Amino acid sequence: MARTPSRSQGNRATIHDQKLERGKGGELHQIAEGDSPVLTTAQGGPVSDDQNTLKIGPRGPALIEDFPFREKIFHFDHERIPERVVHARGYGAHGYFETYESLAKYTRADIFQRAGEKTPAFVRFSTVAGSKGSFDLARDVRGFAVKLYTREGNWDIVGNNIPVFFIQDAIRFPDLVHAVKEEPDRAFPQAQSAHDNFWDFISLTPESMHMIMWIMSDRAIPRSFRFMEGFGVHTFRFVNAKDESTFVKFHWKPKSGLQSVVWNEAVKINGADPDFHRRDLWQAIQSGDFPEWELRVQLFDQDFADSFDFDVLDATKIIPEEILEPIPVGRLVLDRMPDNFFAETEQVAFMTQNVPPGVDFSNDPLLQGRNFSYLDTQLKRLGSPNFTHIPINAPKCPFQNFQQDGHMAMRNPVGRVNYEPNSFGEGPRESPKRGFRSFAEAEEGQKVRLRAESFADHYSQARLFFNSQTPPEQRHIAMALTFELSKVETPVIRERMVSHLLNIDEGLAETVAEKLGLGELPEPADAAVAPRDDLEPSPALSIIENGPDRFAGRKVGVLVSPGADAALLKKLQTAIEKEGAVMEVVAPKVGGVEAADGSWIEGRHMIDGGPSVLFDAVALVLSEEGAERLTGEAAARDFVADAFAHCKFIAFTSGALPLLQKAGVDPEADEGLIALDDPRTIPGFIESCRKLRLWSREMAVKL
C-alpha cells in the first residue's frame, strides 16, 4: 500500500493559521504567522518544524541526529525533581506472569517458549497529570506498566488503561504535558484537565480527538485498578528464531470484568477517601483476593496492516477486536504488596526500550521517541546511571558487563580486565546467536520532517468509539465534555472544540453546545480526511458491555442501627461472602451497635466516614426507631440519596422506610430497591448486584 507524504498532515495549517494573542483587555485575537517571534532552540537556532521528528521517510525510524527534538525532550525530562513529571502518583504490587502455550512460531522470546512457566512481575498503576499528593479518582488516563523479570533480562510493557494516545509524534509530548498540567502563572488546577491551556492545545490538535473520546468516557474514572484494562498502546514486533517478523499489540484483560464510577461519585470519593484506589488494591491483595489479568495479543502481518486506510504505526488508532480478535497467551496475577513503598513503587524504573530478544519495535514515531526519552528520565530522577543496581530494577537472571563506577555503584568488574575485546579470555562476550537482534527491515527515503498521509484521519475512530458506547456511556461523555469546557474561560476555545465534535457526532456536538449556551453551532472543523460513517460499532469498547457476570471482588456497605436484626445481617453476610464479595458495616458510631437480640454488631465505619460512594451496593438493616434517629443526620440521608442517585442496588428492611423517605427515595421507585425482611429475598439482591448499576434509573435522577 503506497504511503504518500503530506505536509498538511502535521496539522501545520491548523496550528499556525490560528495563533492567538491576548489584547490589553484580555481578549484573544488571531495574529499572522509573520508577526510571531521565531521559535528557537535554547542555543538560539531557529526551528523549522516543531511538530514532527526527523525520520528516514515519512514512516521510517527516528534519527538520533535530530538535535531540536533531543534538546526539547532533554529539557522536558529534567524539569522536575524528585517525583516523576508524569505518572507521579502511582501504586504497585508484585506477582507473576504464567505462559499458556508456546509462541515459538511467532517469537524467540524465552518467556513464551514453555507452557505453564511463571515469570516474576511487578506492576505499577498511576494517574498521569497530577502530583504525588493528588487524589486517586481524577479524570485521567491511568498508567499500566508491567515489568517482567524474564530469563533474558527485564521486559517492560509500559502502557496505559487506554489503547490510544493524544499525539502521533513524541516531539509534541512536552507541549501536551505542559498544557494539561497546572497553569504556570497560578499553579492550578491540580490533576485536572478542565482549564483553558489543555483545551486550547487539544482544540488545535485534531489528532487528539480519538483520545478525547476515551478520556471523557468512564474509562478515565475506573472503580479500581483491578477492574480496568491495560494496553501496550503501540504496535510492536515479535521476531522468531528464523528472524521472521509479526506485528503485535498487547492487551491486558481483567478477569473480574470492567467497572467505572460516575463523575458525581468520583468527586465525592475523592473527598471521602483520596487513596481509594490504593486502599482497594492493598485490601484485595492482603485478603487473598488476588487481582488477575489475561494477556491477549493481536498478531498480524504487513499485508494485513496495509489493508487498512489508517496506519498501524499511528498511536491514535486501534485495530478493533471484532476485526482482529486478541489471542490469550498468558495470565498476570498480583499476589504481594511491596515491603517498602519508596524502595520499590517509587524507585521502579520502566523503559519502553527494555525488551528481550524476540520482541522488537515498529517505526511508530511516538514509540521511537519514548525509547529515546526514558533512559534520560531515569538518570535525572534516580540520580545515577546505576539505577539498575536498585533491587526493584535489577534483573533476576544472571547478568554481566564491563560498566563501572558512577554515583552509587553497587557492582563493578572484578579483576584486571574491564574492557572487551581482550586477549586474557576474561569477562563476558557478545553472542550473535542468543543476543538481541533488530529485525532487518529495509528502509529508504530522504531526511524529512513529515507525517504520512495514512496518519491523517483524525475523526473516524473517534466516531467509532462514541458509536460503540451504550446510551448511558454516551450521556456520560457529553456530561464530561460539558463540565470540562464549562471551566474554560475563553469562548473561542469552547467553540473550536464544538467544531471538532461536529465531525464526530452531530447530536453530541449539539448537546454540548446547548449546555454551554452557544447561540449557534460553528462550522465543522476542517478535516484533512473526511470522517467515515461506515465503521461498525465495536462492543469491546464499552465498559457496560464488558462488565462482570458475578459480584466477586466488589463491596457492599450495610448501614445498621441499634435494634437491627442480627440474624438477618448474618445471612446477608454469608450470601455476600459466598459470592466472593466483601461486606462492611457502617454504624452511627464506629464501635458498632447493639442488635435486637442483645448481641453486638461491630462497625467498620461510622456513618460520617463510610459514605455509600465507597461501596458497589448498599443495604439498610435498620430498626424503625434507629431509622428515625438517623433521619436527623445529613450523612445518613446522603448515604441513601447518593446510592440511589448513583444507580446502585439498595436492599432495605421495613424499619428503614423513614430514612428512605427522608432521603427522597421511593421504596417502590424501581426494581433496584429490594425489600429485605424475608431472608429469601437475599439471593435476588445478590443477583441484581451482579449488574453493578441500574442504568435505567439515571434519566430519572439527572445528576
The DSSP bridge pattern shows strands 292-300 and 327-336 to be antiparallel
Contact 219, 260 (CB under 8 A): yes
Q: Is residue 113 part of a domain?
A: yes
How far apart, in Å, are the Cα atoms of 288 and each of 146, 173, 335, 573, 604? Answer: 21, 39, 7, 18, 19
Element at 592 (helix H, strand E): strand 592-594
Q: What's the CA gap between 11 and 17, in Å, rounded? A: 10
SS3 content of the chain, % helix, strand, coil (to 5): 35, 20, 50
pLDDT tens for 3-52 read 444 433 443 333 334 444 445 444 444 445 556 787 787 777 778 888 89
pLDDT tens for 635-651 read 999 999 999 999 999 99
Q: What's the CA gap between 417 and 399, in Å, rounded? A: 17
- pTM of this structure: 0.90
CATH of the domain at 653: 3.40.50.880
Q: Does 310 score more than 50 pLDDT?
A: yes
The DSSP bridge pattern shows strands 600-602 and 605-606 to be unpaired
The pLDDT, as a whole number, for residue 31 is: 46
Q: Does 192 score more than 50 pLDDT?
A: yes
Residues 536 and 554 in one domain: no
Contact 650, 669 (CB under 8 A): no
Query: 425's torsion region: left (phi>0), alpha (psi -120 to 50) or beta?
Result: left
Q: Compute the CA torsion angle 111, 247, 211, 63 (nearest 10 deg).
A: 100
Stretch among 52-56, 181-185, 435-439, 479-483 having the lowest mean pLDDT = 435-439
Q: Does 64 score more than 80 pLDDT?
A: yes
Q: Is residue 192 part of a domain?
A: yes
The pLDDT, as a whole number, for residue 399 is: 85
Element at 201 (helix H, strand E): helix 196-203
Using alpha carbons, select from 531, 489, 518, 490 the residue that is nearest to residue 213: 531
Q: Is residue 8 part of a domain?
A: no
Q: Is residue 357 part of a domain?
A: yes
Residues 538 and 566 in one domain: no
Residues 227 and 130 in one domain: yes
What ranges in 205-248 are assigned the alpha helix state H? 209-215
Show the cell assigned to 507. Answer: 447530536
The pLDDT, as a whole number, for residue 34 is: 59
Residues 524 and 573 in one domain: no
pLDDT tens for 231-258 read 999 999 999 999 999 999 999 999 999 9
Residue 225, burial from CB neighbour count under 10 angstroms (0-12, 13-18, 19+) = buried
CB atoms under 10 Å from CB of 233, counted, come to: 25
pLDDT tens for 578-614 read 999 999 999 999 899 999 999 999 999 999 999 999 9
Encoded amino acid at 373, one letter: S
Q: In the sheet that 650-652 helps form, which strands lie side by side, from edge to edge?
A: 605-606, 582-587, 555-560, 617-621, 650-652, 673-675
Count of domains observed in the chain = 4
Q: What's the CA gap between 337 and 122, in Å, rounded? A: 10
Residues 355 and 463 in one domain: no
CB atoms under 10 Å from CB of 490, counted, come to: 18
Last residue of a domain, one of 497, 515, 544: 544
Q: What's the CA gap between 674 and 621, in Å, rounded? A: 12
Q: Which residues are catalytic?
A: 87, 160
Query: 580's torsion region: left (phi>0), alpha (psi -120 to 50) or beta?
Result: left
Q: What's the CA gap between 558 and 656, in Å, rounded? A: 12
Q: Is residue 94 part of a domain?
A: yes
Using alpha carbons, select from 298, 682, 695 the residue that is nearest to residue 474: 695
Residues 412 and 465 in one domain: no
In a 3-state reduction of DSSP, which class is residue 632? coil
Contact 124, 345 (CB under 8 A): yes
The pLDDT, as a whole number, for residue 46 is: 78
Q: Does 135 score more than 80 pLDDT?
A: yes
Contact 672, 645 (CB under 8 A): no
Residues 502 and 651 in one domain: no
Q: Is residue 41 part of a domain?
A: no
Across the chain, mean pLDDT equals: 92
Last residue of a domain, one of 509, 525, 544: 544
CB atoms under 10 Å from CB of 683, counted, come to: 12
**DSSP assignment of 393-451, as one string?**
TS-SS--------STT------SS--SSS-TT--S----TTTS-----------EE---
Q: What is the mean pLDDT of residues 141-161?
A: 96
Distance of CA 17 to the CA centre of its chain: 33
The pLDDT, as a whole number, for residue 16 is: 39
pLDDT tens for 96-109 read 999 999 999 999 99
DSSP assignment, residue 5? B
Contact 627, 655 (CB under 8 A): yes
Q: Is residue 268 part of a domain?
A: yes
Q: Which residue has the cell 473527598?
A: 271
Residues 231 and 322 in one domain: yes
How far apart, in Å, are the Cα atoms of 315 and each of 52, 85, 325, 366? Answer: 14, 21, 19, 7
The pLDDT, as a whole number, for residue 390 is: 93
Contact 121, 336 (CB under 8 A): no
Instruction: Work out the pLDDT band at 76, boundaries 50, 70, 90.
Output: confident
Residues 493 and 523 in one domain: yes
Name 218's Cβ contacts closer than 8 Å, sequence gap at least 6: 260, 261, 262, 473, 476, 543
pLDDT tens for 458-510 read 999 999 999 999 999 999 999 999 999 999 999 999 999 999 999 999 999 99
Residues 510 and 585 in one domain: no
3-state secondary structure labels for all residues of 29-74? EECCHHHCCCCECCCCCECCCCCCCCEECCCCCECCCCHHHHHHHH
CA end-to-end distance (rounded Å), the chain:
49
Q: What's the CA gap between 660 and 639, in Å, rounded? A: 10
CATH of the domain at 495: 1.20.1370.20
Residues 223 and 290 in one domain: yes
The pLDDT, as a whole number, for residue 8 is: 38
Q: Where in the sequence is the domain holding 695, given as residue range(s)? A: 550-701
Last residue of a domain, one of 355, 383, 411: 383
Q: Is residue 452 part of a domain?
A: no
Residues 540 and 620 in one domain: no
Q: What is the mean pLDDT of residues 543-563?
A: 97
CATH of the domain at 373: 2.40.180.10
Q: Does 402 score more than 90 pLDDT?
A: no
Q: What's the CA gap between 220 and 162, in Å, rounded? A: 8
The pLDDT, as a whole number, for residue 78 is: 66
Using alpha carbons, select from 474, 483, 479, 529 the residue that is nearest to residue 505: 474
What percentage of the chain carries pLDDT values higher than 70?
94
Q: What's the CA gap between 553 and 615, in Å, rounded? A: 11
The pLDDT, as a whole number, for residue 33 is: 53
